[in-house]
Chains A and B, each alone.
Chain A
Amino acid sequence: MSAPGDPAGVDAALRRLGASQGRQYWRSLEELFETAEFRRRIAAEFPALARMPTDIDRRSFFQCLAAAVALAGLDGCERRADEDAYPLVLADRDSQPGMVRHYATAWELDGVGQPVVGTCRDGRPIKLEGNPDHPASGGKTDAFTQAALLGLYDPARSGGPLRDGAPATWDGFGAVALAAREWFDASGGTGFALLTGPVQSPTLLRQIAGMRARWPGMAWHVHAPMAEGPAALDGMPPLDTIDVLVCLDADPLGNGPLQTWHAQGWSARRRAFQQGDGAARLLVAEPTPTLTGVTAEARLIAPHSRIAALAAALGARLGVAEGASQPLDAKERAWIEQATDALQASRGRGLLCVGPQHGPELRMLGSRINASLGNQAVASRSRPQPSGDLAALHRAIGLGGVHTLLILDSNPCYASPDAAGFTAALKRVPLTIHAGLHHDETGQACRWHLPLAHLLESWSDVCCADGSAGLVQPLVRPFLDVRTRHQVLALLTDGEVPAHDLVRQTWPGDEVQWQSRLLKGFVAEAAIPPAEPTASVAAPRSAAPQPGDALEIVFRPDPTVHDGAFASNPWLQEMPKPLTKLTWDNAVHIAPALAEELGIANEDLVEVSAAGRSIVGPAWIVPGQHARTVLLHLGYGRRAGGPVALGSGFDAYPLRSPSSLWARGDGTLRKLSGTRALACTQTHWALGGHDWIRTVDAPGEALPRKEEQKSFFPPQPREKPENGASPPPAWGMAIDLDLCIGCNACAVACVAENNVPMVGREQVAKGREMHWLRIDRYYEGTPDEPRQSFQPVPCMHCEDAPCETGCPVNATVHSPDGLNLQVYNRCIGTRTCSAYCPYKVRRFNWLDYTREAAPALVAQRNPDVTVRDRGVMEKCTYCIQRIAEARIAADKEGRPIADGEVVTACQQACPTQAIVFGDLTQADSAVGKRKASGRDYALLEDANTRPRTTYGAKIEGGGKGAG
């Protein structure tokens, strides 16, 4: 070592300094992650996610959190609470503290796999992102997938087997299963019925096939309440190849299991169209607004009962003879002409898409029309045929033919038209077993309740939207006494089997192949081929047009809680529904005309009845809905399934007619006295001539430029710092309104990433929701046929930010890279920043929203984001924690931050890539290109705040014919 004062030492050091790349001392996490050897270890590493470390992490996490709360806004003159640390007992290089790991896995909605990459921090899954390698995801997700993570931590999940509602053990059930097995083997399974949800998981199908082969007498029933719904459009050709999409009461872009898949395709086509390549036309005929409908260039408001006539008319005009078509009114005719012209103009690149709820006949007609135009066919995927549906099972029970019933991950006692009847029927079955996440309505009606493992903590496999199979590997060792769905079946057939083995058996090939598949998260070669639709599925018929003043009742899955499966998920319960901005409740949606006719105002209680059955709920007036149509969202009014699920909304299932699940024409509506207050996050929505939403007529066209206004603020620093450093990045965001379909994926992703607290119905009703990213919804034109637009509004990060002038304590300041910072621990809560904010994007912790959270929910929180305390202002930070991570990584490697290295949570989730984020100083950056476009504009230019977040104007229409 150099002697004291030896200048040679310094020179040597300086030389080394000149040469040092930083890398020679260690390798970056990314580099580490890339090596195959490392990946293999990860795959083999699951035992390291043992319960013990997990618990430790969680415990220490509580302590950190407690400290964070206790010390929030600590001033120098307080003594800090002591804090303990619990290092691992056996550590390897992968379980280093603070280390982030990513695992490719998947979860399932309505039997459709959603491929994701789970981010685990210290053994806890804290975020889900789409699997970028997977064709069905492309790294994108929908709102349900983002919220699925919270489902894993749901405190209401059942944690152990129950027998007649009393705690039991798996061994106890094992004995029962053993007895049953011997009996079935003897009797050939007669009298044994298996009821599942929609099944596409290869392993599950393999197991069921095995059971049916072994016990020919058994019956397998499938209950799929959401199948054949308007969004259940599997087997459709990818939309990125479709220049002209004509939807007859079909909602491919709507919230549902296939949204990510369709939205991606549509957006790819739309973006190509923006670049002047081809067309991206969308024409929709529908009774009530859907995300697809409001996005369409031509939207015809037609009742459910007219869809058949419209299809016939289309067929007639396109030479697919379909008998005598009914007479059309002017609007209908105009739309039909527009649609047929468009379809004919782009033969082979168009698609007519009929809502599955209209039954096979209409879908056949649709395919014939497509065939006649040389378009790709819309085919539903071939599935193994079950013995029957729920109704069949109900009948079988009635005949006393069922003595053992296993209900696997399905909730027929709530989500079925005759739930009450079925619940009663269950009493007549000697042995009823329910396996599910929650001790829900069905669980309570059954003898045995077995807690299932959440897919994110399971070994399993799924079938994704594109037909490819996805592998499911656990992100964390289950922390409850649960079994995977495969294990439950195996208990019946073989007894206790490790979940991993059950899935492994399904997939031949050696260990290396298996590991590589696990890393990718899917099995590309195993794609399930599409087939022509088969009429054998219980075929719902369109409701016959009713004479007189009867109303048409249309049923839809709820855009936030879906069929009720997410009723105990606060992230979704509090997520404003895209079109109504209602939270925590469903409502009876009626058209403005009908409301006027019956003198009904929002929130008035009304009674909807049909065929002797009726439900009562608050009315909500929905512009753009057909005057004689009443829309009911399913999934609310849960009678069990956790505190969050209870007490919100009303149950619309009883009104469904088993013969026609999605619409009925014999409805009547009566106004009752009294109201029910609904929590709506946007009460005013008229654009009223303001230019908040701007439009252009053609892709190339530019908006009129407003001249730069004077400002007293100094310009943002863009010049090179004197010490030769590269200029700091100038972060900015561009949101293309032409691509936004208002699906909420970004908003939920933001909640998941930034520990945004949920505050409950009362607080939302007071106007205190905490979402950092809200999606504004505006109407133009008449209430009967308005044009609707969505506008996601995060913090604008104004260069001349009024909020910064207001704060007396420097708690909101500007950073050199252009971020408008909010320093929680300095904030004293004067709320001046919010008062001065023209966009009102700031959120305030009016009460203590974080300290009382259940331990399980605390474990989900992102440790890189401060948990805010009472009395503190908060807002969108452009995901500053991700920026900091990238900055440090780049600094360590001595390079600037590359474009696309920082991806905000909203951007990462957005299935249509409407949101782009990046460095404005790099002209060739993605965001730079967006801002250079003539469609780019700033919200509230008059406020002269020079926002860093800007918008892309909508483009009218979708190009003329095929390009």
Chain B
Amino acid sequence: MQIFSPSADTWLRAGIAALVVAVFAAGLVAAGYADSTYATQVGWAKDQDVPFSHRHHVGELGIDCRYCHATVETSADAGLPATHVCMTCHSQLWTGAPMLAPVRASLAQHRPLRWHRIAQVPDYVYFNHSIHVQRGVPCVECHGRVDTMPLTWRAKPFQMQFCLDCHRDPAKHLRPPEQVTRIDWASWSPQMRQTYGSAALRRYHIDTGELDNCEICHR
């Protein structure tokens, strides 16, 4: 009496093959997820209590980053603007605009505004804005073209490899410090930037071989 149909063997082989494929596929899916924008939050605009538009303030009005993020040059944190910084203008402009109601309320009741953080690294990563800015790493390298963002989103995947890519070869990312906050700066050809970058590395005695050591970011 026959237990298995003649095709059983084929099925078995197919099954085994499928199993192998499935294992590899699973790996690929995991890897894909790790780099997906869902995991890295790249390009996911967040709703804020106050729908602040960098496109309007930076792109159209051309306000310098440092006007609001005042401590970016002196402190580890770039800092979010205090309410009264917003009100320096908005006590004159759009004084009645409903979308600014929370700002006025904040000032009136002395209660801080709440912002959902966009650019955010884990707490065991100690990123210091001041030294990066001082060395000529432009804002746009990590924060992207905020001047095109109506609501702000994360422009780069803040994964370790993203940091390392730059730390291992900083030259082509560097600019003259006075150009650091120029989001749309494109005056130089890649070669020129390379030339400048290598010069800057020499000037600052930066040994790129040491920039990717653990203690540079982790304490």
Contact = CB atoms under 8 A, between A and B. Distances in A.
Interface in B24-80: 30-31, 33-35, 38-39, 41, 46, 70-71, 73-77, 79-80
Contact of B84 (A65, A72, A90): A90
A7 B115 contact: no
A825 B124 contact: yes
A79 B83 contact: no
B77 A68 contact: no
A641 B121 CA distance: 41
Interface string B159-203: 111000000000000001100000000111100100110011111
B130 interface: yes
A396 interface: no
A853 interface: no
B82 interface: yes
Interface in B122-152: 122-124, 126, 128, 130-131, 134-135
A1 B116 contact: no
Chain A contact patch, size range = 35 or more
Interface string A41-70: 000000000001000100000001101100
A725 B112 contact: no
B205 interface: yes
Contacts of A721: 207, 209
Given A1-B187, A72-B124, A884-B219, A84 B131 contact: no
A82 B85 contact: no
Given A96-B79, A864-B219, A888-B131, A80 B122 contact: yes
A864 B188 contact: no
Nearest to A74: B122
B199 A892 contact: no
Contacts of B160: 76
B219 A76 contact: no
B87 to A, nearest CB: 10
A25 B188 contact: no
B196 A816 contact: no
A84 B115 contact: yes
B210 A825 contact: no
A334 interface: no
Contacts of A724: 202, 205
Contacts of A65: 123
B81 interface: yes
Interface in B86-137: 106-107, 110-117, 120, 122-124, 126, 128, 130-131, 134-135
Interface in A146-204: none
B13 interface: no
Nearest to B177: A25
A76 B199 contact: no
A20 B80 contact: no
B176 A16 contact: yes
B187 A6 contact: yes
Given A815-B215, A866-B219, A10 B80 contact: no
A549 B5 CA distance: 101
Contact of B188 (A9, A97, A728): A9
B79 A5 contact: no
A821 interface: yes
A723 B214 contact: no
A865 interface: yes
Contacts of B124: 68, 71-72, 824-825, 866
Interface in A6-41: 6-7, 9-10, 13-14, 16-18, 20, 22, 25-27, 29
A721 B111 CA distance: 52
B82 A91 contact: yes
Determine the main DSSP class of A at the interface with B: loop
Most chain B beta-carbon neighbours within 10 Å: one of A68, A82, A87, A819: A87
A181 to B, nearest CB: 36
A276 B143 CA distance: 61
Contacts of B115: 84-87
B192 to A, nearest CB: 5
Most buried by A among B85, B123, B189: B123
A866 B122 CA distance: 10
A528 interface: no
Contacts of B210: 728, 816
A67 B123 contact: yes
Contact of A723 (B71, B126, B205): B205
Contacts of A89: 82-84, 106-107, 110-113
Contact of B213 (A1, A17, A816): A816
A51 B177 CA distance: 38
Nearest to B34: A77
A83 B116 CA distance: 6
B118 to A, nearest CB: 10
A725 B206 contact: yes
Contacts of B35: 76
B4 interface: no
A14 B188 contact: no
A14 B219 CA distance: 34
Given A17-B199, A84-B117, A98-B76, A22 B192 contact: no
A867 B116 CA distance: 23
Contact of A891 (B41, B74, B131): B131
Contact of B177 (A20, A84, A90, A824): A20
A518 B125 CA distance: 37
Nearest to B122: A71
Contacts of A67: 122-123
A865 B71 contact: no
A388 B82 CA distance: 56
Cβ-closest 6 pairs across A and B? A68-B123, A91-B82, A77-B34, A725-B205, A87-B80, A13-B176
26 contacts: A4-B186, A10-B192, A13-B196, A25-B73, A52-B110, A68-B124, A71-B123, A77-B34, A85-B117, A87-B112, A88-B83, A89-B84, A91-B85, A98-B71, A723-B206, A724-B202, A815-B215, A816-B210, A825-B122, A826-B214, A865-B219, A880-B219, A881-B126, A881-B219, A892-B131, A894-B204
Given A17-B176, A68-B124, A88-B112, 8 more contacts: A3-B187, A25-B73, A29-B74, A71-B122, A723-B202, A815-B215, A825-B218, A892-B130
Interface of B: 30-31, 33-35, 38-39, 41, 46, 70-71, 73-77, 79-85, 106-107, 110-117, 120, 122-124, 126, 128, 130-131, 134-135, 159-161, 176-177, 186-189, 192, 195-196, 199-207, 209-210, 213-215, 218-219
